[in-house]
């Protein structure tokens, strides 16, 4: 088997996956983020510039983790890495803008997040994303992120089959961002009302777990990867959507909220882990979501790769330095890691190594 044939094969072992991550994914993500950092430095408005730069500096690991999907198809990494980094950077930038917003206007949040729908809809006319807020002058930064996504998508031969399912996930993501960032006294009622309209889709999940599922970009990234296949059809795209949403996506964001509890409490931000009766219930529910996620990914090809994604998620979040700073989180983390398979332990060690060397 020649190198090109090997590069097309989905990695089946943690060692082969991480060798690709170290050799290709991390350096190319770093290069893409540096490009966007330099772009963000030129944003005229001080507040927009501050939030754009902060999102790149503090949320880099979102792009690093998302770009792992490019490791499953190295010949397409020149499309997938810029696409995933640009889309995730939009998400992180807007999350910063809304979390630390000078506005509590849901219409403003929806207008901003129209960019995430435009980014995955190449034929849609781009909107004025800052129309409803006082800070407007970003020097074209957000528009360039959107355009980068569109240009990459135009090179995905199977995108037409994936588009409907990507839009479904993107629309749910936008809804969540609107409702979770409105006035604290209104957001829980708004989220519960929204959930009531969708609860039939995920009857096994509580409202906070459904909301968490809508906040993940992993389903979109997996569909980007699937769309590199010119023979992707609706049946395959539907199966991939169902294998990731809601359980893999919910696990992703529940772990994110698990480690951010202190940070969110200080910032007054909503945290979906705060809606459990006690720590034991939280542990049991997250453990159940892990098992549901594992079962779901068995229904699509290359299940071993997706099992590594799940183990990698657990390792990435539970190895975060924030875990050791929170007694309750540390206790839950230890119990989640107890009896871990070797794959998870391998990714745990690698996640720690990447964090230690990220600034070198």
* DSSP 8-state symbol, 204: T
| Torsion sign across C-alpha atoms 5, 11, 16, 19 | positive
Q: What integer pLDDT is reported at residue 354 of this predicted model? A: 78
Give pLDDT tens digits for 99-110.
876 678 999 999
Q: Report the alpha-carbon distance of residue 218 to residue 254 in Å, rounded.
A: 13
pLDDT at 6 over 60: no
pLDDT at 324 over 80: no
Using alpha carbons, select from 219, 218, 211, 250 the residue that is nearest to residue 237. 219
Give pLDDT tens digits for 110-137.
999 999 999 999 988 989 999 999 899 9
Give pLDDT tens digits for 254-296.
999 998 888 888 877 889 999 999 989 998 999 999 999 999 9
Is the separation of the CB atoms in 279 and 333 below 8 Å?
no
Q: What integer pLDDT is reported at residue 3 of this predicted model? A: 43
Q: What integer pLDDT is reported at residue 220 of this predicted model? A: 98
- pLDDT over 70 percentage in the chain: 96
Is the separation of the CB atoms in 257 and 270 below 8 Å?
no
- H helices, E strands: number in the chain: 20, 0
Give pLDDT tens digits for 340-358.
678 888 888 888 887 776 5
Using alpha carbons, select from 11, 10, 27, 60 the residue that is nearest to residue 228. 10
| Longest pairwise C-alpha distance within the chain | 61
Is the separation of the CB atoms in 54 and 96 below 8 Å?
yes
Q: Report the alpha-carbon distance of residue 86 to residue 80 in Å, rounded.
A: 10
On average, the pLDDT of the chain sits at 91
Q: What integer pLDDT is reported at residue 332 of this predicted model? A: 82
Using alpha carbons, select from 229, 225, 230, 218 the residue that is nearest to residue 79. 225
* DSSP 8-state symbol, 301: S
Domain borders along the chain are 7-155, 164-173+183-360
| Torsion sign across C-alpha atoms 46, 38, 117, 293 | negative
Alpha helices in 123-246, H assignment, sequence order: 141-153, 159-181, 184-198, 207-214, 218-226, 234-244
Q: How many residues appear in the chain?
A: 360
Q: Report the alpha-carbon distance of residue 38 to residue 48 in Å, rounded.
A: 14
Tell me the CA distances in angstroms from 20 to 86, 110, 191, one per residue in order.
21, 37, 40
pLDDT at 72 over 60: yes
Mean pLDDT, residues 160-185 taken together: 96
Give pLDDT tens digits for 193-224.
999 999 999 999 999 999 999 999 999 999 99
């Amino acid at each position: 088997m020649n190198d090109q044939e090997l590069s097309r094969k989905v990695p089946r072992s943690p060692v082969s996956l991480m060798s690709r991550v170290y050799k290709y994914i991390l350096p190319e993500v770093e290069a893409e983020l540096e490009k966007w950092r330099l772009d963000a430095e030129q944003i005229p408005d001080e507040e927009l510039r501050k939030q754009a730069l902060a999102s790149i500096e503090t949320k880099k690991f979102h792009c690093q983790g998302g770009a792992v999907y490019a490791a499953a198809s190295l010949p397409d990494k020149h499309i997938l890495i810029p696409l995933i980094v640009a889309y995730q950077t939009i998400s992180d930038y807007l999350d910063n803008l809304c979390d630390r917003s000078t506005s509590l206007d849901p219409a403003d949040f929806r207008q901003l997040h129209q960019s995430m729908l435009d980014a995955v809809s190449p034929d849609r006319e781009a909107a004025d994303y800052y129309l409803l807020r006082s800070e407007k002058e970003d020097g074209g930064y957000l528009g360039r992120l959107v355009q980068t996504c569109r240009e990459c998508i135009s090179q995905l031969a199977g995108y037409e089959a994936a588009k409907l399912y990507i839009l479904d996930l993107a629309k749910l993501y936008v809804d969540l961002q609107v409702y979770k960032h409105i006035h604290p006294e209104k957001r829980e009622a708004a989220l519960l009302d929204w959930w009531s309209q969708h609860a039939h889709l995920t009857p096994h999940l509580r409202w906070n777990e459904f909301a968490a599922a809508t906040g993940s970009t992993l389903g979109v990234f997996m569909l980007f990867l699937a769309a590199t296949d010119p023979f992707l059809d609706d049946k395959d795209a539907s199966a991939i959507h169902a294998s990731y949403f809601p359980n893999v996506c919910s696990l992703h964001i529940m772990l994110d909220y698990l480690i951010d509890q202190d940070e969110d409490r200080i910032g007054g931000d909503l945290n979906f882990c705060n809606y459990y009766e006690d720590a034991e219930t939280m542990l049991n529910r997250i453990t159940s979501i892990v098992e549901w996620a594992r079962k779901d990914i068995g229904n699509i090809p290359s299940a071993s790769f997706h099992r590594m994604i799940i183990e990698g998620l657990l390792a990435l979040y539970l190895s975060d330095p924030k875990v050791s700073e929170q007694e309750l989180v540390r206790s839950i983390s230890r119990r989640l890691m107890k009896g871990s398979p070797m794959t998870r332990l391998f990714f745990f060690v690698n996640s720690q190594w990447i964090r230690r060397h990220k600034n070198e």
